[in-house]
A and B are shown apart, each in its own frame.
Chain A
Amino acid sequence: MAAVKRPHMPVMLVANDLLEGDVVFAATEGWTRDPREACIARDDSHAQALESFAADEFRLARIVDPYLVEVTLNAKGHPVPRHYREVLRMLGPSNRLDLGKQADFKF
């Protein structure tokens, strides 16, 4: 059996809030809607701990669709996803800068 491909570090963990649908990020404690507060895992054991936390939260019907997102860190130390899909997901619709996290958090 082929080994499960693990993501390149660093990563953050993203999910949707079950009740509201918003994109949420695993923070040092609980969840945050602000990606700048996302907990950044720099090694696999930390990433696995995030996944384990998300699995518990999924079972408790708080979030859905959790997964790890590969990121780089910008000059301020904030995560920037490596893939454009996840950048859009973090910001909001690129044709509506008045909507999504780009508007909520004035990125």
Chain B
Amino acid sequence: MYAYDQFDERLVRERVAQFASQVERRLDGSLSDEEFRPLRLKNGLYLQLHAYMLRIAIPYGTLSARQLRQLAHIADVYDRGYGHFTTRQNLQFNWPKLKDVPAILGLLADVEMHCIQTSGNCIRNVTADHFAGVAHDEIEDPRPSAEWIRQWSTLHPEFDWLGRKFKIAVSGAPHDRAVLKAHDIGVQILRDPVTQQIGYQLLVGGGLGRTPMEGKILREFLPREELLGYLEAVLRIYNLEGRRDNKYKARIKILTHEIGIKAFRAKVEEEFARIDSTNFGADLEEFSRIAAQFAPPAYDNLPDVSRKLEVAQAGDEELARFVEHNLYRHKRKGYTAVTISLKAIGQAPGDATSLQMRVIADLAEKYSLNEARVTHMQNIVLPDVRLDDVPEIFAVLRENDLATANVGLITDILCCPGLDYCALATARSIPLAQTLSRHFADPIKQKEIGELSIKMSGCINACGHHHVGNIGILGLEKKGAESYQITIGGDASENFALGELLGPGLPEQNVPEAIDKVLGVYLALRQPGESFIEAYRRLGLAPFKAAFKEVADAVA
């Protein structure tokens, strides 16, 4: 893991003192609400439906056991004993008091954490593949690049007040687990087929929200030494030419769409040529310094197969199911990456109690080289686990309602907080996620349906990624009541696709029935081994739409 140097430490401590002073001045009236609002947002502090909400940055989702324990401590002392892991790999506390936030920021600084740039019109926390450094299909660990970008973008004076927020994600594997194409900039690490040199492919102008768009290739290959200079050029063009007259048209995706990718590319290249690259030359040294901190640990040479795990599985059906669904192939023999599902049947997706955080911290410390990862799917990964240790880990998880074997299945629902917490939401999302989770709880049924993602948002801002769910659900207001639109065919991977609308919105109670109809079509028409999304691509929207119409007509 990256450890703060004296600059990181000082920067974070100074920010704590600065925000403490700002809170003090707000309370004594010397800062107006209008003046204070953007300052609190720059520190991740929102005012939500019931209370303040504090969003804590977890850079590229990486947490140490110590950090996770500190989050549990904050949850107990300053919040209500739980936290919500978000779809951008962060953590949100839903009930902090303004007067306590400086103390919370101090506790975060003690463990090299902060809330800087988790809100506001700036470059947000950088996200990455949650299997970074351990995935079997990886070209290069994306964390050094993500950390490099984090350092470049933190308090960048030129990009502190952009037209709108700006999100960057990094992946080092060909299989995209970081939803690169839904980001303002997606950074894909790749190897030049001719020179074998490692560099970056840059995607630009992706995004979800009210105007969903797929990121387009801006640069096919960028040598490492040019990354930060090129990002600087992209941000500069966006900052200068992005719209500021209408917040709904202020994201970079609108700029690239309106002028076209070719014209945008030409502007960036022209700006990049003007940038004095010697300013960034020294950064390769910084990259090497960072990369050294992510050097692979001293793995043991282990056999490919764990007899111990095989024997344990043979006598424990639940463990066998957990192994089937929650383990991901590690680059090293005898190791695995374990995904801990925060989607227990009937639970609010992404929520974890302070006790569960401590349990996961203990497991990370004991079995996973002291590290855990937050996934954008709102689960937690133990990245470096010996196959031999899986039975012990599973036993602890089972005792703490953390052993649900549903990763990638229909109950692994991605879901924003919705109107139960969020001031922007138009409908609730959590209760419907809980209903669907119970509706599809049967593990045999889940296995029969196979790989399928449900993603749900409580408003068009799409924090719940509904456009890229195989089944997407969007909660809206219709005639003074909550109503849910369903799309199908969305795909968050490298085969990125936006879902298509099945028909009119439905009341909450009719959604499970409608999804049953959609699944009925899939189960009846699928070919052997064909996943839901593959079947959808072959069959098209029509048969699903026809089945959905039966429910929609009955409701209308």
Query: Which residues of A lie under 8 Å from residue B98 when comparing CB positions?
Result: 18-21
B49 within 8 A of A: yes
Stretch in B26-34, B379-387, B547-555 with 4+ CB within 8 Å of A: B26-34
The number of chain A residues touching the other chain, given as a range, is: 20 to 34
Query: Which residues of B lie under 8 Å from residue A23 when comparing CB positions?
Result: 50-51
B240 within 8 A of A: no
| In the complex, per-residue mask of A40-84: 1 if CB is within 8 Å of any chain B CB, else 0 | 000000000000000000101100110000000000000000011
Residue of B47, B348, B434 touching A64 (CB-CB under 8 A): B47
Q: Are B96 and A21 in contact (CB under 8 A)?
A: yes
Q: Are B420 and A83 in contact (CB under 8 A)?
A: no
Provide a sorted-by-A list of 22 A–B residue pairs whose CB atoms are within 8 angstroms. Answer: A19-B98, A20-B97, A20-B98, A21-B95, A21-B96, A23-B50, A61-B26, A61-B27, A61-B29, A64-B33, A84-B419, A84-B480, A84-B481, A84-B482, A88-B49, A89-B49, A89-B50, A93-B50, A94-B430, A95-B420, A95-B430, A100-B50
Q: Are B420 and A21 in contact (CB under 8 A)?
A: no
Enumerate B78-111 residues with CB–CB distance to A below 8 Å: 80, 95-99
Complex Cα distance, B98 from A85, in Å, reads 24
> Count of B residues near A, CB < 8 Å?
27
Distance (whole angstroms) from the CB of B15 to the closest CB of chain A: 21
Query: Which residues of A lie under 8 Å from residue B96 when comparing CB positions?
Result: 21
Residue of A21, A61, A64, A65 touching B51 (CB-CB under 8 A): A21
Distance (whole angstroms) from the CB of A17 to the closest CB of chain B: 9
| In the complex, per-residue mask of A83-102: 1 if CB is within 8 Å of any chain B CB, else 0 | 11100110011111001100
A16 within 8 A of B: yes
Enumerate A21-50 residues with CB–CB distance to B below 8 Å: 21-23
Distance (whole angstroms) from the CB of A16 to the closest CB of chain B: 6
B544 within 8 A of A: no
B52 within 8 A of A: yes
Query: Which residues of A lie under 8 Å from residue B51 when comparing CB positions?
Result: 16, 20-23
B431 within 8 A of A: yes
Complex Cα distance, B49 from A94, in Å, reads 12
Q: Are B27 and A94 in contact (CB under 8 A)?
A: no
B428 within 8 A of A: yes
List 16 other contacts, CB 8 Å, given A21-B51, A96-B420.
A18-B26, A18-B98, A20-B99, A21-B52, A21-B97, A23-B50, A58-B33, A61-B27, A61-B29, A83-B480, A84-B480, A88-B419, A95-B420, A95-B431, A99-B80, A100-B50
If the complex has contacts A20-B98, A61-B28, are A95 and B434 also in contact, measured as CB distance less than 8 A?
yes
A58 (CB) vs chain B CBs: closest residue: B33
Query: Which residues of A lie under 8 Å from residue B99 when comparing CB positions?
Result: 19-20
